[in-house]
């Protein structure tokens, strides 16, 4: 049929105008595995979960791949992988799918969809939420969008396990939360008290000391005078046979020795008597820099204490002392321990800042006894337990307390005393008033305070250094709830 317009015949016999269409290559059909029902869980949503940097619950991996996957366009027996290809394959970007030959049993493998980057061996890269140990180099994670900023370490101590499982990737035991052993917890608490800047460690023996009440110059002068008196009295007695001077020196020496022994025995009571008779001051009328005595109810500050043996909570001052009696053949508790006396073997005294509510004015003041302040405590201690070789096995708590401090429990006569100031107790505080930005504080004085001579009681003067705390034994006294 001749015509100006080209025509062609269809398969059904009809003639139509125009040239026949050129056969086009059939577009490949991409098949992917059906995604399971997520039920609204974003962790199972595939690409959407990767946008939020979440871990997929179950990894969908293809079968084992070869070391160097080939890039062909055949889709038979290959796993379809959408996404970028690792550097070992190439840096080219493909809009379609790239397949790789998969060796398998019988020359065929099942096709499964993998979403995410491939590593250098052709396997999907595993995501990790932290550093991996055991020599595994973590791969960079692919995120849609900018990476979140790295938050700085805050140093907060939180409860709960660091990670799940019994062992980590390096084989070491994981740290999990839970109740600690009592000995471990006690050691941790004692260590925290000893190294905490807010806690003042007063590990010195308190009480009256004759060396502290009399200056060394005067003490050595008195000793020298007595030596000269005895020499002179003996010389006169031998030369003239007159014992008057020697008798006078002996009488004076006996009087001084009795005075010293009296002060050693009753000097501490003289100091507490001075504190008790010192008049209280109303904080409303107290001037800045004035040395005052305030009596009131105690309230804990930011760091309450706990007693060492009885574990009394919410204390502002704790004292635990272990004494030993030394017989003729017993061991000495310290270098200055004399025979047939009680000697101090171990002491633990701690103090922290606290608040006191004045009875007279009702004002509340901050007492600065923490952070290494100078403190003179006069707190009554009660005997907690007496131990001898016959009953030492009857108190497992006491033996545990000794083991925690690496103290031996052999055949010794021991006595444990403990004193504390707990919240709600009535306490007398002596110190200097300091007002700073409407904050009322009681701080240690710059110089020690002398108690003066108490002639009626034959008590020599002693010095009170720093803040003075006075509290009677509160073990059997009900405290005021706060």
- Looking at the predicted structure, is the pLDDT value of residue 100 above 50? no
Where is average pLDDT lowest: 115-119, 171-175, 397-401? 171-175
Structure confidence by residue, pLDDT tens digits, 366-385: 999 999 999 999 999 999 99
How does residue 422 score in pLDDT terms, banded at 50, 70 and 90?
very high
The predicted pLDDT at position 268 comes to 86
For residues 414 and 391, what is the distance between their CA atoms, to the nearest angstrom? 11
CB 377 within 8 A of CB 306: no
The answer for residues whose C-beta is within 8 angstroms of residue 39's C-beta and 6 or more apart is none
pLDDT above 50 (res 23): yes
Question: Do 27 and 107 form a contact (C-beta atoms < 8 A)?
Answer: no
Mean pLDDT lowest among 1-5, 171-175, 264-268, 302-306: 171-175
Distance of alpha carbon 107 from its chain centroid, rounded?
63
User: Which one, of 462, 429, 464, 470, lies nearest residue 447 by Cα?
Assistant: 464
Distance CA(194)–CA(198), nearest Å, equals 10
Which residue in this structure is represented by tokens 């096995």?
393
Phi then psi dihedrals of residue 347, to 5 deg: -140, 140
Closest CA to 465 of 445, 439, 440: 445
Mean pLDDT, rounded, of the chain: 73
Half-sphere exposure of 374 (CA within 13 A, CB side): 13
Query: What is the pLDDT confidence band of residue 315, given thresholds at 50, 70 and 90?
Result: very high
pLDDT for 4:
60
pTM of the predicted structure, to 2 decimals: 0.58
Tell me which of 111-120, 303-312, 352-361 is least confident: 111-120
Residue 96 pLDDT > 80 = no
Strand pairing report for 354-358 and 291-300: antiparallel
**CB neighbourhood size of 391 (10 A):** 11
Assign 221 a pLDDT band (cuts: 50, 70, 90): very high
Looking at 101-110, 276-285, 333-342, 420-429, which range is the least confident one?
A: 101-110
How high is the pLDDT of residue 102?
39
Instruction: Tell me what the mean pLDDT of segment 291-303 comes to.
Output: 95
Q: In this predicted model, which residue has the larger pLDDT, 16 or 288?
A: 288
pLDDT of residue 36: 58
Inter-residue long-range contacts of 450-456, CB under 8 Å, 24+ positions, other chains counted: 451/270, 451/271, 451/274, 452/274, 454/270, 454/273, 454/274
Q: Are strands 114-115 and 375-379 parallel, antiparallel or unpaired?
A: unpaired
In this prediction, residue 77 carries a pLDDT of 40
Token pair recorded at residue 149 = 């900023």
Q: What percentage of the chain reaches a pLDDT higher than 70? A: 59
Q: Above 70 in pLDDT, residue 396?
A: yes
Position 438 scores a pLDDT of 83
Rounded Cα–Cα distance for residues 375 and 316 (Å):
13
């Amino acid at each position: 049929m001749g015509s100006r317009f080209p025509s062609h015949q269809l398969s059904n016999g009809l003639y139509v105008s125009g040239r026949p269409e050129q056969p086009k290559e059939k577009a490949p059909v991409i098949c992917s595995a059906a995604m399971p029902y997520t039920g609204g869980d974003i962790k199972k949503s595939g690409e959407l979960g990767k946008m939020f940097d979440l871990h997929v619950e179950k990894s969908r991996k293809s079968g084992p791949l070869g070391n160097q996957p080939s890039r062909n366009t055949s889709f038979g027996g290959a796993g379809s992988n959408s996404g970028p290809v690792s550097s070992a394959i190439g840096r080219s970007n493909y809009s379609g799918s790239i397949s790789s030959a998969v060796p398998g049993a019988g020359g065929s493998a099942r096709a499964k969809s993998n979403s995410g980057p491939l590593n250098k061996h052709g396997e999907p890269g595993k995501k990790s939420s932290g550093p991996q140990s055991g020599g595994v180099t973590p791969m960079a994670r692919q995120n849609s969008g900018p990476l979140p900023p790295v938050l700085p370490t805050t140093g907060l101590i939180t409860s709960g396990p660091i990670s799940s499982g019994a062992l980590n990737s390096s084989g070491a035991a994981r740290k999990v939360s839970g109740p600690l052993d009592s000995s471990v917890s006690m050691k941790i608490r004692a260590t925290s008290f000893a190294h905490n800047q807010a806690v003042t460690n007063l590990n010195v023996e308190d009480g009256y000391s004759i060396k502290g009440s009399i200056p060394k110059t005067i003490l050595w002068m008195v000793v020298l005078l007595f030596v000269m008196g005895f020499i002179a009295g003996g010389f006169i007695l031998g030369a003239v046979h007159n014992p008057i001077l020697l008798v006078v020196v002996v009488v004076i020496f006996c009087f001084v020795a009795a005075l010293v022994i009296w002060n050693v025995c009753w000097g501490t009571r003289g100091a507490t008597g001075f504190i008790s008779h010192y008049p209280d001051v109303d904080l409303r009328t107290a001037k800045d820099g004035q040395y005052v005595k305030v009596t009131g109810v105690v309230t804990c500050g930011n760091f309450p204490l706990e007693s060492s043996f009885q574990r009394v909570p919410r204390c502002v001052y704790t004292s635990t002392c272990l004494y030993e009696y030394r017989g003729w053949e017993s061991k000495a508790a310290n270098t200055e321990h004399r025979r047939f006396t009680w000697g101090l073997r171990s002491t633990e005294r701690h103090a922290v800042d606290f608040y006191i509510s004045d009875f007279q004015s009702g004002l509340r003041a901050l007492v600065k006894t923490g952070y290494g302040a100078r403190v003179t405590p006069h707190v009554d201690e009660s005997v907690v337990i007496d131990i001898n070789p016959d009953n030492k096995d009857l108190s497992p708590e006491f033996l545990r307390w000794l083991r925690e401090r690496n103290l031996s429990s052999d055949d010794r006569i021991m006595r444990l005393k403990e004193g504390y100031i707990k919240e709600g107790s009535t306490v007398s505080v002596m110190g200097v008033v300091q007002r700073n930005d409407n904050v009322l504080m009681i701080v240690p004085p710059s110089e020690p305070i002398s108690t003066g001579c108490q002639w009626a009681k034959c008590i020599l003067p002693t010095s009170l250094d720093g803040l003075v705390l006075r509290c009677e034994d509160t073990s059997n006294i009900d405290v005021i709830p706060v």
